[in-house]
């Protein structure tokens, strides 16, 4: 059954209210890294009717991604940026998605993210997370970063929180679980952290700046 853009938006307004939806319509958010965090964040934001999403990941879909990342068996081997854009088009075809299969570096991030007022850090490697967060906060003086640290292991989902580190940096996670400790990486727990990030993004767009 087809749904018109107006009908789709009316359904969103019934859940978010007109004033809030009007803010979501024009929001612009970058999602850096499209793994367990980023694929879940992007889908949550597209479902909320965020108007513009900028997706960035240089990787391909692999079998080991499937426990936590929003890809299908048929998408194995495809670039994540394209595969996720295809999925988003089936969820919300009116979301303006710019999808790039590039690797963000200290040299290119300010150019690539120049138009994105909110940046989600959704990488997996700790060193890459630190590089991106420092790079964006340093080079883009108005950008707000919603980052993640600590979502591996089988610890309680209740340990995952959102905190505001400083004026332009929010951090989601338990702060201690490292995938390198070998305690596992549970899709459901990663999704909790992604939902914290997506919720914080939507709160910021709606005008709430506290976690």
Interface residues with other proteins (CB under 8 A)?
Answer: 33, 35-38, 122-127, 129-130, 133-134, 137-138, 147-152, 165-167, 169, 171, 173, 175-180, 185, 190
Between 18 and 178, name the residue whose CB sits nearer to other proteins: 178
Q: How far apart are CA 69 and CA 73, in angstroms?
A: 11
DSSP 185: B
- Quote the least distance from Cβ 36 to other proteins, whole Å: 6
Between 53 and 133, name the residue whose CB sits nearer to other proteins: 133
Between 90 and 166, name the residue whose CB sits nearer to other proteins: 166
CA angle 61, 62, 63 (to 5 degrees): 130
- Quote the least distance from Cβ 130 to other proteins, whole Å: 5
- Quote the least distance from Cβ 33 to other proteins, whole Å: 6
Between 96 and 178, name the residue whose CB sits nearer to other proteins: 178
Between 23 and 54, name the residue whose CB sits nearer to other proteins: 54
* Range 130-135, long-range pairs (CB < 8 A, 24+ positions): 131/105, 131/106, 132/32, 132/104, 133/169, 135/104, 135/106, 135/109, 135/110
- Quote the least distance from Cβ 12 to other proteins, whole Å: 28
Q: Could you give the 3-state DSSP secondary structure of residue 79?
A: strand
């Amino acid at each position: 059954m087809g749904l018109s853009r107006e009908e789709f938006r009316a359904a969103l307004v019934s859940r978010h209210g007109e004033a809030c939806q009007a803010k979501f319509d024009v929001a612009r958010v970058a999602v850096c890294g499209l793994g367990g965090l980023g694929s879940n964040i992007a889908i949550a934001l597209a479902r909320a009717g965020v108007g513009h999403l900028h997706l960035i990941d240089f990787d391909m879909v692999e079998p080991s991604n499937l426990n936590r990342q929003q890809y299908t068996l048929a998408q194995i081997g495809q670039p994540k940026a394209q595969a996720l854009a295809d999925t988003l088009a089936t969820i919300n075809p009116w979301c303006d998605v710019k999808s790039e299969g590039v690797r963000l570096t200290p040299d290119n991030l300010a150019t690539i993210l120049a138009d994105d007022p909110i940046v989600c850090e959704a990488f997996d490697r700790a060193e890459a997370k630190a590089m991106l967060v420092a790079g964006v906060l340093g080079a883009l003086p108005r950008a707000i970063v919603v980052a993640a640290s600590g979502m591996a292991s089988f610890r309680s989902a209740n340990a995952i929180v959102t905190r505001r580190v400083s004026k332009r940096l929010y951090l989601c996670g338990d702060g201690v679980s490292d995938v390198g400790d070998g305690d596992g990486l549970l899709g459901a727990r990663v999704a909790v952290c992604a939902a914290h990030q997506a919720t914080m993004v939507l709160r910021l767009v709606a005008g709430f700046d506290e976690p």
